[in-house]
């Protein structure tokens, strides 16, 4: 199993489920949840967390700025 | 999953919401490029350390409430008049950073005179122009930038150029004016384009600080509600249809 | 002693603006008021006080430049004449809606349409009854001399900032173009940004760490919030009506008839009073200096004394409606005036007085 290099935290309350983040993720980490949030949107979540490389593409494109991105320092053991 | 919890720690943080953005939820539709551009402006303001010296001018249109989303001082203008407000604010307070934020109807239809003359005088301001080819807020009417054949609620059979004229390439017109120092057309539909747009915005604010004249940053953007598409589909449609007419890149860079 | 100069009314506006420490003037040429900007450009106040003077691409642009400057707490103004002021109506309602202080000078000419370049007073309705959309008021001062053209600039800014409301100086082509001696104030400094931040904390001078962001806007998507805001505006207007009524009375003590006239028409009527009194007609004049707020109470007081009132204005009859409303049908109220660019003579006014009120 690949070791995750990055991780994201989605503000699922703020997320509008537009799905734009899913199109810019190079490792197909993100999907829209089957459940909906309080606004009725299928919010984004890490469906494939092990593949995250912490590139931050999802964070910078998110129109509602509801994704925070973390990346393990090179050499650090996760 | 234990991997993730060890990664999510303060020292590993590489991207978070800037404090220049307010905590308010955006009023924009899901996937709308307005939000991404707002965020980029906020990040540029934070990185340049100019939050306390920046005044934004909000337009009429979807972004009429832009002042709710960035934690800076704002003025909200009458439809199309943002460049006139920005002109006065900058001339009266030359040490401040002033930008207008306008859509295509605001900047290229009702406000064409204010736009052209602010650029022609070389007002030392940043003009941010969101071009989504439609009037979003009023419900999807034809804009000055609506593509030939593109349907909108006031041209439901598609824009007929023999009736309505060709869409206006206002940025190319403004680039002709000696007062503009920087005219660029960007987009925010991919991560790479977002990064380029942010660089363009930063450059525009730096031009203002260097007293170089008017900088215009056009962002070709989507309007999934107005175009009646999903957000992802609207970005694809934009690439296929908008970019051939409105090619991305610098139009003028002096 | 203040400096004495012989000046046109339009020049006096410009000179007074510089000396009052005004921060900015934004305008567009139109007869009969182009001397305002011409004087400013010739004086080059940007080299002395730092005042910004800019010729805009239209009256629409200049009033919106005024909006931008006013939003920063700066003392900014524009001037124009009737067709140009019509173009400014959008900006004026936005200024009123955003509660921004500014001064707008209208050197009125004959209309409607492009009309004439000769003087008129036919923009009264536009000025005091709205002009733009929505429930708003412009505090309106009507100068009757070149001296008042000069004095009302500073007074207008004082009122504008006191009430956070646009102020209109409603002049006309006679006052704008005629030359008189005028006493000018000493040069005052422009306000510093610290002064603005301290006294006008709503100004958009850049968000300081110790305060919330400032937003200048007139949009409220919630009807209930907009209604609440309108109540606030109305309360402000009631306060203006209570505190800012200004008028002048001439020979009213023994008057049996009252002329009501403002601006250049009031000057003409001064002579009419002389002619009428020589004929044994006891006539006086009430000259509203503020057209909004209107001297309603004083007119009602005089209505108990006189047999009739004549509203003399260079229009087809506009202010006369407010005079009638003020006296609540307690005395006959008639209108007289030449209009469309023509100016009545003192004799014509006396004739009208005799025919419409005394003979009738």
pLDDT per position as a tens digit, C289-348: 999 999 999 999 999 999 999 999 999 999 999 999 999 999 999 999 999 999 999 999
In a domain, B115, yes or no: yes
- Mean of the per-residue pLDDT values of chain A: 92
Q: Is residue B136 part of a domain?
A: yes
Average pLDDT estimate for A38-50: 97
Residues of C in contact with B93 (CB under 8 A): 72, 74, 193, 205
The residue segments making up the domain with residue B70 are 28-248
Tokens, residue B220: 């070709």
Helix (H) or strand (E) holding B117: helix B112-120
Over residues A1-14, the pLDDT tens digits come to 556 799 999 999 99
Evaluate if residue C149 carries a pLDDT over 80.
Answer: yes
Cβ pair B15:A64 closer than 8 A:
no
The closest CB to that of C205, out of B64, B73, B76, belongs to B73
Q: How many domains does chain B have?
A: 1
With touching defined as 3 or more inter-chain CB pairs under 8 Å, the answer for chains C and A is no
Instruction: Judge whether residue A74 has pLDDT over 80.
Output: no
The answer, yes or no, to whether residue C175 has pLDDT greater than 90, is yes
Per-residue HEC secondary structure of chain A comes to: CCCCCEEEEECCCCCCCCCHHHHHCCCCCEEECCCCCCCCCCCEEECCHHHCCCCCHHHHHCCCCCEEEEECCCCCCC
pLDDT reported for residue B4: 85
CB distance from B46 to chain C under 8 Å? Answer: no
Residue A76, pLDDT above cutoff 90: no
Question: Is A20's CB within 8 Å of B235's CB?
Answer: yes
Name the maximum alpha-carbon separation found in chain B: 63
Whether pLDDT at C80 is above 80:
yes
| Mean pLDDT across A31-47 | 97
Interface probe with A: pick from B1, B6, B15, most Cβ of A within 10 Å: B15
B3, B17, B231 ranked by CB distance to A78: nearest: B3
- Provide, as residue numbers in chain B, all residues whose Cβ is less than 8 Å from the Cβ of A66: 17
Domain regions of chain A by residue span: 6-70
Say how many residues make up chain A.
Answer: 78
For residue C237, the model assigns a pLDDT of 98
Mean pLDDT of chain C: 97
Residue pLDDT tens, chain B, 254 long:
457 889 999 999 999 999 999 999 999 999 999 999 999 999 999 999 999 999 999 999 999 999 999 999 999 999 999 999 999 999 999 999 999 999 999 999 999 999 999 999 999 999 999 999 999 999 999 999 999 999 999 999 999 999 999 999 999 999 999 999 999 999 999 999 999 999 999 999 999 999 999 999 999 999 999 999 999 999 999 999 999 999 999 999 99
Strands (DSSP E) along chain C, which ranges?
3-8, 24-27, 52-55, 76-80, 102-108, 139-141, 166-172, 179-184, 215-216, 247-250, 257-260, 283-288, 290-292, 308-312, 333-336
Per-residue pLDDT at C190 exceeds 50: yes
Chains that touch A (3 or more CB pairs under 8 A): B
Total CB pairs under 8 A between chain B and C: 130
Whether C201 contacts chain B with CB within 8 A: no
CA distance A18 to chain B (A): 5
Percent of all residues in chain C with a pLDDT value above 90, rounded to a whole number: 98
Q: How confident is the model at residue B5, as a pLDDT? A: 86
Confidence band, pLDDT 50/70/90 cuts, at residue C359:
confident
Helix (H, G, I), strand (E, B) or coil at B106: helix
Whether the CB of A49 is below 8 Å from some CB of chain B: the reply is yes
Question: What's residue A4's pLDDT?
Answer: 72
**Chain C: closest CA distance from residue B124 (Å):** 14
Any C CB within 8 A of B99 CB: no
Residues of chain C with CATH 3.40.50.920: 247-358
In a domain, B8, yes or no: no
Is-contact A66 A15, C-beta < 8 A?
A: yes
- The yes/no answer to whether this complex scores an ipTM above 0.95 is yes
Please state, in angstroms and rounded to a whole number, the distance separating the CA atoms of residues A60 and B18. 11
Return the residue of C nearest to B98 by Cα.
C206
Using an 8 Å CB-CB cutoff, list chain B residues near A23: 190, 232, 235
Subunits that touch chain C (at least 3 Cβ pairs < 8 angstroms)? B
CB atoms within 10 A of CB B245: 15
pLDDT at residue A44 is higher than 90? yes
Q: In terms of DSSP bridges, do strands B214-220 and B126-131 run parallel, antiparallel, or are they unpaired? A: parallel
pLDDT tens digits, C27-45: 999 999 999 999 999 999 9
- What residues of C are in contact with residue B71 (Cβ under 8 Å)? 207, 213
* Chain C interface disruption, residue of B27, B62, B84, most C CBs within 10 A: B84
Chain B CB within 8 Å of residue A59 CB: yes
Residues 6 or more apart whose CB falls under 8 angstroms from that of C138 comprise C92, C96, C104, C127, C128, C131, C165, C166, C167, C168, C292
β-pairing verdict for B134-135 and B141-142:
antiparallel
DSSP secondary structure, C289-339, as one string: SEEES--HHHHHHHHTT-SEEEEE-SSSSSHHHHHHHHHTTSS-EEEE---
DSSP, collapsed to helix, strand or coil, labels residue B102 as strand
Any idea what the CATH number is for the domain that residue B192 is in? Answer: 3.40.50.970
What torsion do the CA atoms of B164, B169, B173, B179 make, to the nearest 10 degrees?
A: 130
Encode pLDDT of C193-223 as tens digits.
Answer: 999 999 999 999 999 999 999 999 999 999 9
Q: What is the CATH number of domain C247-358?
A: 3.40.50.920
pLDDT above 90 (res C352): yes
Asked, for residue B9, whether it belongs to a domain, the answer is no
Ranges of CATH 3.40.50.970 domains, chain C: 3-193
Task: Look at the block and give the residue holding tokens 């337009």.
Answer: B59
Which of C68, C207, C221 lies at the smallest CB-CB distance from B86? Answer: C68
Q: Does the pLDDT value for residue C360 go beyond 60?
A: no
Quick: pLDDT tens for C270-291. Answer: 999 999 999 999 999 999 999 9
Q: Is C238 helix (H, G, I), strand (E, B) or coil?
A: helix
Q: Which helix (H) or strand (E) holds B56?
A: strand B54-58
Instruction: Report pLDDT for C328.
Output: 97
Any domain includes B19: no
Chain B residues within 8 A of C218 when measuring between CB atoms:
76
Question: Which chain B positions have a beta carbon within 8 Å of A49's beta carbon?
Answer: 1, 3-4
In tens, the pLDDT along B145-159 reads 999 999 999 999 999
Task: Tell me whether residue B230 is in a domain.
Answer: yes
Region C102-114: what's the mean pLDDT? 97
Comparing CA positions, the residue from B49, B54, B53 lying closest to residue B66 is B54
- Domain assignment present for B192: yes
CATH fold, domain C3-193, is Rossmann fold (3.40.50)
| pLDDT score recorded for residue C268 | 98
Residue found by looking up tokens 């690949």 in the block: A2
Q: Is A29 on the interface with B (CB under 8 A)?
A: no
C68 vs B75: CB contact, 8 Å cut-off?
yes
**CATH topology for A6-70?**
Alpha-Beta Plaits (3.30.70)
**Would you say residue A67 has pLDDT above 80?**
yes
Query: Residues of chain B whose C-beta is under 8 A from some C-beta in A?
Result: 1, 3-4, 6-9, 11-18, 21, 25-26, 28-36, 39, 188-191, 194-195, 198, 230-232, 235
Asked if C31 reaches chain B (Cβ–Cβ under 8 Å), the answer is no
B13 and A17 in contact by Cβ < 8 A?
Answer: no
Q: What is the pLDDT of residue A78?
A: 45
Question: Residue C158 is encoded by which pair of tokens?
Answer: 């004082």
| Chain-chain contact of A71 with B12 (C-beta, under 8 angstroms) | yes
């Amino acid at each position: 199993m690949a070791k995750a290099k990055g991780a994201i935290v989605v503000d699922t309350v703020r997320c509008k489920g537009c799905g734009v983040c899913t199109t810019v993720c190079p490792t197909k980490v993100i999907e829209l949840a089957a459940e909906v949030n309080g606004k009725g949107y299928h919010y984004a979540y890490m469906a494939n967390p092990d593949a995250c490389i912490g590139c931050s593409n999802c964070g910078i494109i998110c129109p509602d700025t509801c994704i925070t991105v973390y990346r393990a320092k090179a050499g650090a053991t996760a | 999953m234990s991997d993730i919890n060890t990664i999510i720690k303060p020292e590993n943080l590489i991207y978070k919401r800037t404090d220049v953005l307010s905590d308010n939820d955006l009023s924009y539709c899901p996937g709308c490029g307005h939000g991404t551009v707002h965020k980029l402006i906020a990040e540029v303001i934070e990185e340049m350390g100019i939050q306390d010296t920046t005044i934004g001018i909000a337009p009429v249109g979807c972004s009429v409430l832009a002042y709710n989303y960035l934690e800076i001082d704002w003025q909200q203008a009458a439809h199309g008049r943002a460049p006139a407000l920005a002109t006065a604010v900058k001339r009266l307070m030359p040490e401040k950073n002033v930008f207008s934020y306008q859509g295509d109807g605001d900047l290229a239809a009702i406000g064409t005179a204010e736009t052209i003359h602010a650029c022609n005088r070389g007002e030392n301001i940043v003009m941010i122009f969101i071009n989504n080819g439609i009037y979003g807020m009023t419900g999807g009417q034809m804009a000055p930038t609506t593509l030939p054949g593109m349907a909108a609620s006031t041209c439901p059979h598609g824009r007929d150029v023999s009736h309505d004229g060709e869409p206006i390439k206002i940025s190319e017109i403004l680039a002709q004016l000696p007062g503009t120092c920087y005219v660029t057309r960007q987009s925010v539909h991919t991560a790479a384009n977002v990064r380029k747009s942010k660089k363009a915005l930063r450059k525009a604010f730096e031009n203002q600080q260097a007293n170089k004249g008017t900088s215009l940053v056009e962002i070709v953007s989507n309007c999934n509600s107005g175009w009646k598409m999903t957000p992802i589909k609207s970005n694809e449609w934009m690439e296929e249809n908008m970019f051939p007419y409105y090619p991305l890149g610098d139009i003028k860079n002096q | 002693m203040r400096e004495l100069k012989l000046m046109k009314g339009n020049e006096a506006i410009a000179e007074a603006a510089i000396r009052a420490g005004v921060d900015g003037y934004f305008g567009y040429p139109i007869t009969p008021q182009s001397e305002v900007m011409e004087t400013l450009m010739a004086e080059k106040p940007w080299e002395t006080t730092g005042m910004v003077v800019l010729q805009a691409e239209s009256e629409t642009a200049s009033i919106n430049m005024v909006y931008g400057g006013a939003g920063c707490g700066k003392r900014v103004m524009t001037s124009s004449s009737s067709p140009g002021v019509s173009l400014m109506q959008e900006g004026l309602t936005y200024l009123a809606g955003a509660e921004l202080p500014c001064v707008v000078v209208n050197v009125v000419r004959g209309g409607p349409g492009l009309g004439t370049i000769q003087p008129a007073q036919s923009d009264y309705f536009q000025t005091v009854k709205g002009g733009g959309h929505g429930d708003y008021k412009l505090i309106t001062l009507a100068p009757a001399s070149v001296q008042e053209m000069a004095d009302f600039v500073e007074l207008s800014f004082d009122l504008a900032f006191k009430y956070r409301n646009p102020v209109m100086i409603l002049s006309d082509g006679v006052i704008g173009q005629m030359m008189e001696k005028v006493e000018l104030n000493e040069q005052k400094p422009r306000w510093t940004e610290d002064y603005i931040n301290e006294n006008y904390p709503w100004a958009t001078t850049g968000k300081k760490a110790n305060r919330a962001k400032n937003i200048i806007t007139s949009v409220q998507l919630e009807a209930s919030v907009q209604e609440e805001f309108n109540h606030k505006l109305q309360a402000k207007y009631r306060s203006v009506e209570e505190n800012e009524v200004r008028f002048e009375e001439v020979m009213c003590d023994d008057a049996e008839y009252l002329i009501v006239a403002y601006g250049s028409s009031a000057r003409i009527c001064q002579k009419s009073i002389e002619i009428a009194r020589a004929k044994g007609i006891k006539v006086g004049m009430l000259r509203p200096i503020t057209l909004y707020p209107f001297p309603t109470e004083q007119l009602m007081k005089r209505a108990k004394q006189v047999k009739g009132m004549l509203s003399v204005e260079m229009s087809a009859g506009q202010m006369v409606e407010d005079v009638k409303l003020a006296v609540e049908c307690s005395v006959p109220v008639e209108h007289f005036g030449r209009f469309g660019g023509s100016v009545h003579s003192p004799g014509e006014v006396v004739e009208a007085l005799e025919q419409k009120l005394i003979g009738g």
